[in-house]
Structure 1
Amino acid sequence: MSPSSAHTASPYADALDRLPVRTAEVSILGGTTRYWDYGDPSAPTTLVLVHGFRGDHHGLEPVVAQLPGVRMISPDLPGFGASTPLTQAKHDIDGYARWLRAFAGSLGIDGRFVLLGHSFGSIVVSAALADEAAPDALHPNDVVLVNPIGQPALEGPRGIMTRLAIFYYWLAAALPRGLGFGLLRNRAIVRVMSVTMAKTKDRSLRRWIHDQHDRYFSAFSDRDVVLDAFTASVSHDVSEYAARIPERTLLVAAQKDDITPISAQYRLQKLFPDARLVVIPGVGHLIHYETPAEAARAIEDFLA
C-alpha cells in the first residue's frame, strides 16, 4: 500500500487526542495562514510554535501532546501545509520574520507569551526577534529553540550531505517546472533524508517517522516557495541574531545532531544575553519525533 492509503499509528495519538483543538486562519502579507490552537484558551501561558523546513504543524504535535497545561498555537508556514504563499513578501528570512511578527501580533495574546521555533523555525524566530527597530517588534516573555541551527549548515558534521542537498535543490530549480516539482516530491529521496536523520533503534518508531515524512514533507504549494525557503535555511543561522535577543531563552539541543554539532550549541549559548542549554542524549535532528517527552519536560522546567 502507498503511504496515502495506510498510515502508521502515532505513538503520541492518545495524548494528543486528549487536548481540545480549534482551527482558524488569518490573512497576512497577501497569503492565508492556517493555524491550530491546542489546549485551554484561557491557560495562563501561550506558546506560539514555528515548525521546520518542509514540514507543517503536524511535526510539532508530539511535543504539543506532552504539554497539556499550556495553550499552543501552531501555524503552517506560508507556502507549506494548508497555508498559502505570501504575495506581498519574499519567502526569505526577512519575509518569514515579517510574517511571524504579523501573525503573533494578530493573535491578541493575554498572559504569558512564549515563542518556540524548531530547526528552520529557530532561524525564523530569531530573525523576527532580533529586529528591535521593526514597527511590529515582538516582545515575548520567553523563547524556546528546539534543534536550533547554531552555525552555517555547511560547517555541520555532515557538510557533504548539505552540499548534496544544495545540488538537489539546484537541479530541481534548473529542470523544467514539472520535472523539478516532481524531483522535489520524489519519495525515494524523501526516504533517504528520513533514514539519515532518524537515530532511534525502535523499529516501530522509525516506521512512524518515515510515514510522517512521506505524508507531510512534500506538502508545499509550489517549487518556487520550497526553493526560496531552502536558500533561506542554508544562508542564515541563529548565531547571527543571538546577541540581539534579550529575552530569556531555552536551547533544546541534540547530542547527535547532524546539522549543528553539540560543540556549536555550547558556543551558541554564550552568544545570547540570557540562555540555558539542555542537551538530550542519543537523539539527532528529530527531537520532536524521537524524544518529545524529554523536550516537553525541559520546556516545563524552564517555564517554571
Structure 2
Amino acid sequence: MFVPPAPRNTAVITGHPARTPERLLVDVPDPRSGRSTPLAVWHYPATTGDPGRPLPPIVMVHGFRGDHHGLALLADCLPEREIYLPELPGFGHSPAFPDATHTVDHYAAAVGSALRSLGLVPVAAGERPSAVPPEGSARPVLLGHSFGSVVASRLASADPTPWAGLVLVNPICEPTLAAEGSPVERALTRLTQAYYEAAAALPLRAGQALLSSPAVVWFTGTLLTKTQDLQALAYLHDQHQSYFSAFDGRRTLVEAYRASITSSVLDHADGLALPVLLIAGAQDELGSVAGQERLAARIGGASPEVTLEVLDGVGHLIHYERAPEAARLVRRFTDSLAGTPGTAPTGPLPR
C-alpha cells in the first residue's frame, strides 16, 4: 500500500483547524524524595463557544511512549473545550523523576500535584495553588488513553470528588500479559516483553539505540493500525517517528513499560464512583471486547453511570484513526454531566 506524505493540514483528518497549545511548566514533588521536578502541561484554550459560559475543561493523559502530540487530533476535534494535557515524567518535555521509580502510583501523584498547582482540582494539605479557578467553575472531566487510562483511573479512584466524569479511550482492561487474544497476538506480546528486557540488559548505548529504532517504531505503528484512510495512516507514522522516542533515558522507558504490562484499569475499578465512558476498539490487540465488557461491569459496581462504546474497524489507536468519532462520544458524555453530584473519596495518592 502506498502511503502519501503526512498531511501538513490535519483538518483533512479532523475537519477542524489545528489548535496551538501553550506549554506550562509546573513544579511537582518527586514522589519518593519530595525534591522538586518540573512537569510540562500543555494548555489548549477554547477557540469556540460562549466565553461568558465556559464549558468544563478536560484533562487528558497520554499513553505509553507518548506525549501531548498523541492526543492533539482529539483536542482539535473539541474546539469548544479548554484542555490541559500533562506529559508524564520522563516523556516529552517532562524530565524523569529524579529519585522515584516510574510507576502508575507515582505518575498519578505527579499529575495530581500539577493539577492542584494549576487550580484545576482542590489542593492537598500544605500545597499552594499557582492559580485559582473562577468561583462557581465546573469540575473538569478526566480522560486517559491506553496506559494513560490506568493513570487516570488511579487518580480518579483516589478521590472522585474533583471530577465531573472519567473517559477512558482504549482502556487497558486487563494486564497485558494476561490479555485474551489469538496465538499470534499472545506471541507478539511475549516478543515485546523480550524486546524491552533485552534493551534493559544491553550496554547503555546499544540498549538506547534499540529502544529508539525507527524500524521498531514503524513496526509497532503498523501492527496496531487498522485504518484504510491513507491521510490518517501517514499522519500516525509521522507522529510516531517524530515523538515515540522522546523519552528521558532507558531506565525511564523500561520502568514505565514494566508498569504498563503489570497494571490495568481493573486495579482501580472499585473506586471509580463517578460517571465513566469507555471507548474501545473492536479489534484492539491490547483489550478484547469481552475484557472491556467485564471491565464495564466491574466499574458499574461503584459508578453511578458507566457506558461502553465499541467502535468497529479500529484497534488500539482510536485517537489517531477515529478522532472525530471519539470526540463526538466525549462531547455527548460531557454534555450529559451537568449537575452530577460529588462522591466520597476512596483513598489518598502516595506523596
**TM-score normalized with structure 2 length:** 0.80
Are 1:205 and 2:232 an aligned pair?
yes
CA RMSD for the aligned pairs? 1.9
What do residues 28-55 of structure 1 show as CA deviations (whole Å, max 9, x unaligned)? Answer: 1232111211123963311111000001
Are 1:65 and 2:88 an aligned pair?
no
Which residue matches 2:332? 301
Distance, in Å, in 1 between the alignment partners of 2:239 and 2:15 is 17
Do the aligned residues in 2 keep the contact of 1:191 with 1:213 (CA within 8 Å)? yes
In terms of mean alpha carbon deviation, does 80-89 or 10-19 score higher? 10-19
The verdict on how the C-alpha distance between 1:237 and 1:18 changes in structure 2, with shifts beyond 3 A counting, is closer
Match of 2:215, SS state, is: helix
Do the aligned residues in 1 keep the contact of 2:58 with 2:143 (CA within 8 Å)? yes
Do the aligned residues in 2 keep the contact of 1:10 with 1:208 (CA within 8 Å)? no
Which residue matches 2:141? 114
Which residue matches 2:180? 156
Distance, in Å, in 1 between the alignment partners of 2:326 and 2:67 is 19
The verdict on how the C-alpha distance between 1:10 and 1:261 changes in structure 2, with shifts beyond 3 A counting, is farther
Which residue matches 2:309? 278
Which residue matches 1:27? 27
Deviation (angstroms), 1:130:
2.3
Deviation (angstroms), 1:297:
0.4
Distance, in Å, in 1 between the alignment partners of 2:161 and 2:115 is 8
The verdict on how the C-alpha distance between 1:12 and 1:187 changes in structure 2, with shifts beyond 3 A counting, is same
Letter aligned with residue 93 of structure 1: V
The verdict on how the C-alpha distance between 1:280 and 1:85 changes in structure 2, with shifts beyond 3 A counting, is same
1:32-111 aligned at under 5 Å gives the runs: 32-40=38-46, 43-109=54-120, 110=133, 111=138
Deviation (angstroms), 1:141:
1.3
Do the aligned residues in 2 keep the contact of 1:32 with 1:85 (CA within 8 Å)? no
Are 1:227 and 2:251 an aligned pair?
no
Match of 2:155 among 128, 143, 153: 128
What do residues 186-232 of structure 1 show as CA deviations (whole Å, max 9, x unaligned)? Answer: 11111111110010122332222111111111010100000000000
Do the aligned residues in 2 keep the contact of 1:79 with 1:225 (CA within 8 Å)? yes
What do residues 155-207 of structure 1 show as CA deviations (whole Å, max 9, x unaligned)? Answer: 23222211111100000000001110000001111111111001012233222
Are 1:144 and 2:167 an aligned pair?
yes
The verdict on how the C-alpha distance between 1:263 and 1:65 changes in structure 2, with shifts beyond 3 A counting, is same
Structure 2: tracts of 5 or more residues without a match:
30-35, 121-132, 336-351
Distance, in Å, in 1 between the alignment partners of 2:82 and 2:331 is 13
Which residue matches 1:288? 319
**TM-score normalized with structure 1 length:** 0.92
Do the aligned residues in 1 keep the contact of 2:226 with 2:315 (CA within 8 Å)? yes
The verdict on how the C-alpha distance between 1:217 and 1:19 changes in structure 2, with shifts beyond 3 A counting, is closer
The verdict on how the C-alpha distance between 1:28 and 1:15 changes in structure 2, with shifts beyond 3 A counting, is farther
Deviation (angstroms), 1:12:
3.6
Distance, in Å, in 1 between the alignment partners of 2:212 and 2:332 is 39
Structure 1: tracts of 5 or more residues without a match:
1-5
In terms of mean alpha carbon deviation, does 40-49 or 275-284 score higher? 40-49
Deviation (angstroms), 1:121:
0.2
Distance, in Å, in 2 between the alignment partners of 1:203 and 1:19 is 22
Distance, in Å, in 1 between the alignment partners of 2:45 and 2:158 is 30
The verdict on how the C-alpha distance between 1:241 and 1:64 changes in structure 2, with shifts beyond 3 A counting, is same
Do the aligned residues in 2 keep the contact of 1:51 with 1:57 (CA within 8 Å)? yes
Letter aligned with residue 156 of structure 1: E
Match of 1:256 among 271, 283, 297: 283
What do residues 212-265 of structure 1 show as CA deviations (whole Å, max 9, x unaligned)? Answer: 111111010100000000000001000111111101111111111010011111
Q: Which has the larger radius of gyration?
A: 2
